[in-house]
Structures are given as structure tokens and as C-alpha cells.
């Protein structure tokens, strides 16, 4: 099975994903790190040098590659849901990690690695995306306490 973790920047997809993959005995892939390695650039450099549209197209190709993998937990980038066509490519269980906006704001307050936060607020991005996260998800789990969230996911996967 392939498990896709979706959710806002700062929602804990990578941290929870690593732990979840250990619990399941699955591989773990951080989609942003995967793209960074392929491009030999950091995400903010990719945005700066090629632009968001190019990055999104690269995300599409990457999702296509992931379809060949099995028994894997994939922490996606927060904006993967911006392209509705990705729903078909994300063939597996899609889990939305939801986190209250105040906590996201706190976690991202001093972050300078996410290019979109240079132009927009966490709150406005989240408001725009909530319907998309819901559209993509098979399961929504609140991720305030990671261990509790993992237990809920394990229970749902039984």
C-alpha cells in the first residue's frame, strides 16, 4: 500500500511520516527532499530559479514515479493538492494532517525556507486549501500530539 500524507507546511507530515513508516515497516519518502536531490537545488532555489509552475510540473512527474512504489509512506509537499489532477495520481490512502492555524503560525513564524510564506500569510493559504485537502483525503487526523495521531492512523488502517 502507498500512504500519502497531505497537509499544510508545518503540519508535521515529515516527522509523523518517518515514525509511521517505522510502525508499519514501510519505506519513507519526503517528497520535497526527493525533488531537491533530483534537481540538486533546495526548494526555495527551485522557486527562485524556475518558478512555481515549473515546480508544480515536477511534482506531477514525481507522483508518477511514486506510483511504481509499494509499501511506502510519502510526506508530500503542502501544495500538492493545488492540482486536482493529482488526486488520480495519488493512488493509495491519502491522510490529511490537520493542525489549528494558530499552531501552524507559531511553528512557521521564523521559517525562511518556504518561498510561498514570503508573499502570503499561513492563514490565507490554509483557508484557500482546506476544501482541497478535504477533497483529496480518505482520512483526516488532527496532528497536535504526534503519537496520538499515529495511533488513530494505525487504527484506521486495520
Q: Cell for 139?
A: 482520512
Comparing CB distances to ligand S3P, the nearer of 32 and 99 is 32
CB 17 within 8 A of CB 6: no
> Which of 5, 9, 95, 141 is close enough to bind ligand S3P by CB under 6 A?
9
CB 10 within 8 A of CB 111: yes
Question: Where does this chain touch ligand S3P (CB under 6 A) — which range of 77-85, 94-102, 130-138, 144-152?
Answer: 77-85
DSSP classification of residue 85: T
Question: Where does this chain touch ligand S3P (CB under 6 A) — which range of 18-26, 83-91, 112-120, 146-154?
Answer: 112-120
> Which of 103, 116, 146, 157 is close enough to bind ligand S3P by CB under 6 A?
116
> Which of 34, 93, 115, 157 is close enough to bind ligand S3P by CB under 6 A?
115
Question: Where does this chain touch ligand S3P (CB under 6 A) — which range of 17-25, 65-73, 75-83, 99-107?
Answer: 75-83
- Provide the CA 86 distance to its chain's centre, in angstroms: 13
CB 85 within 8 A of CB 15: no
Residue 101 in contact with ligand S3P, rule: CB under 6 A:
no
Smallest gap, in angstroms, from Cβ of residue 158 to ligand S3P? Answer: 28
What value, to the nearest 5°, has the Cα angle with vertex 140 and ends 135 and 146? 145
Sign of CA dihedral 114, 119, 120, 126: negative
What residue ranges bind ligand S3P (CB under 6 A)?
Answer: 9, 32, 43, 77-79, 114-116
Amino acid at each position: 500500500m502507498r500512504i500519502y500524507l497531505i497537509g499544510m507546511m508545518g503540519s508535521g507530515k515529515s516527522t509523523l511520516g518517518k515514525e509511521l513508516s517505522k510502525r508499519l515497516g514501510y519505506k519513507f519518502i519526503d517528497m520535497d527532499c526527493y525533488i531537491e536531490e533530483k534537481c540538486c537545488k533546495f526548494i526555495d532555489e527551485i522557486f527562485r530559479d524556475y518558478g512555481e509552475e515549473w515546480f508544480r510540473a515536477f511534482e506531477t512527474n514525481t507522483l508518477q514515479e511514486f506510483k511504481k512504489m509499494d509499501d511506502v509512506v510519502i510526506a508530500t509537499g503542502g501544495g500538492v493538492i493545488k492540482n486536482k489532477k493529482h488526486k488520480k495520481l495519488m493512488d493509495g490512502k491519502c491522510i490529511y494532517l490537520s493542525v489549528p492555524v494558530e499552531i501552524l503560525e507559531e511553528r512557521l513564524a521564523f521559517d525562511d525556507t518556504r518561498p510561498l510564506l514570503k508573499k502570503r500569510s499561513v492563514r490565507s493559504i490554509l483557508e484557500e486549501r482546506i476544501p482541497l485537502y478535504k477533497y483529496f483525503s480518505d482520512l483526516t487526523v488532527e496532528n497536535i500530539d504526534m503519537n496520538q495521531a499515529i495511533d488513530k492512523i494505525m487504527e484506521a488502517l486495520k
